[in-house]
Amino acid sequence: MASAKQKKAIIDKLNDAFIERGIKNNTIAYKRFFDRAITESLKASQGEVVGSRAIIKALNGITVNKSAYLRQTYNMAVLSGITNIVENQGISALDRKTLAPLITLLNKYPVSKPETLAAKVDTITVAILGGKVASLNSVEKAVTPMVRKYYNNNLPFIREQLKINKVNIIKVNKQIKSNISRTIAKELRSQINQRITVVTDPKFKDIKRPKTFVEIRKDMRAKFGEQVDYRVRRLVDTELHDLAENTKFAQHTIMGYTHKKWNSQGDSKVRNDKKGKTQASHVVMNGKKPIPVKNKFKMFGGGSGMYPSDPQLKPKDRINCRCFLTYTRRT
């Protein structure tokens, strides 16, 4: 039987794995947007000096694939159920109907390999939502009926979460598109304004020509590729953490859990205010006495929220937080 410390470590790793999977999915989607954005910007400029508005207008017509984020609602519902099983050393009679289908999944993909588990849940979710179960391998197909059953058992809950998450999807897409669009517009205008040139023949260094669209696109991809990764990760990481903790909070509440406890990851990265003033301190929050599930956590330095990364929290407590809640029932 796992100790409280061991269970906490397992939940830590599960959270990280499922959120990292979500970040990867969204980064792929936004990189596609980035490549298309550069191409459309070049078309809009037609090699001439144009205003940023004209370029950004062209970029606004490009849609970002929302499915990568939407499917996280289903994935996080599975994470919530698995967390429940880990917390309670299995399935209680009270939770058996809701959580039992996940035992089949965990028999094939155990919590001891969280990255594999998160990846397989994502693969199976995509196949179920897209009607492409036939494309799965034999092991994936074997557990798919139980994952589908778990989703069906929780469908009203998942649909409600989808309504909430739609707001986040629109917000994050807008932030990332705006951020990337302004960056591309600024750089493209700079390159066109300066008429950056390349030597066509090393023997005649004074013979130069303007860079082609292909060359400009290559330079911009090289310059901003890593920035896109960073910007997407920074925005999406916080929102996916919110999604994970909100999903677990909602499902545990529905299932009758009465108390919740704040946990940090217990490493040097946990935000801490050594001066004892007004900065965020999740070290202080870690391991405090559980509070009633419907109460808010009062944060060190002011502010309150229902769970880690709750939008109600101040930015200093919310952004890039890695904390999580555990739940108990009290009679």
d(CA 133, CA 127): 5
Tell me the pairing of strands 297-298 and 197-199: unpaired
- The predicted structure's pLDDT at residue 144: 97
Confidence of residue 275 (pLDDT cuts 50, 70, 90): low
**Domain locations along the chain:** 4-253, 258-331
- 129 closest CA partner among 160, 152, 157, 163: 152
Residues of the chain by 3-state class (helix, strand, coil), percent to 5: 65, 5, 30
Confidence of residue 55 (pLDDT cuts 50, 70, 90): low
Confidence of residue 311 (pLDDT cuts 50, 70, 90): confident
Instruction: Reply yes or no on whether the pLDDT at 278 is more than 90.
Output: no
- The predicted structure's pLDDT at residue 123: 96
- The predicted structure's pLDDT at residue 56: 66
Instruction: Reply yes or no on whether the pLDDT at 155 is more than 80.
Output: yes
pLDDT in tens, 4-16: 888 888 998 999 9
pTM, two decimals, is 0.80
Of the two residues 199 and 263, the one the predictor is more confident about is 263
- 246 closest CA partner among 183, 186, 308: 308
- The predicted structure's pLDDT at residue 51: 54
**CA distances (Å), 266 to each of 8, 9, 236, 286, 324, in order?**
10, 10, 23, 8, 11
Instruction: Reply yes or no on whether the pLDDT at 195 is more than 60.
Output: no
Instruction: Reply yes or no on whether the pLDDT at 47 is more than 60.
Output: no
- 296 closest CA partner among 306, 284, 308: 306
Confidence of residue 148 (pLDDT cuts 50, 70, 90): very high
Mean pLDDT (the chain) is 80
Percentage of residues of the chain with pLDDT beyond 90: 29
Most confident option among 63-72, 82-91, 109-118: 109-118
- The predicted structure's pLDDT at residue 266: 67
pLDDT in tens, 156-166: 888 888 888 77
Instruction: Reply yes or no on whether the pLDDT at 196 is more than 60.
Output: no
Instruction: Give 128-133's long-range contacts (Cβ < 8 A, gap of 24+).
Output: 128/74, 129/67, 129/71, 129/74
Q: What is the DSSP string of 17-73?
A: HHHHHHHHHHHHHHHHHHHHHHHHHHHHHTTS---HHHHHHHHHTPPP--HHHHHHH
- The predicted structure's pLDDT at residue 89: 76
Instruction: Reply yes or no on whether the pLDDT at 57 is more than 90.
Output: no
d(CA 98, CA 310): 25
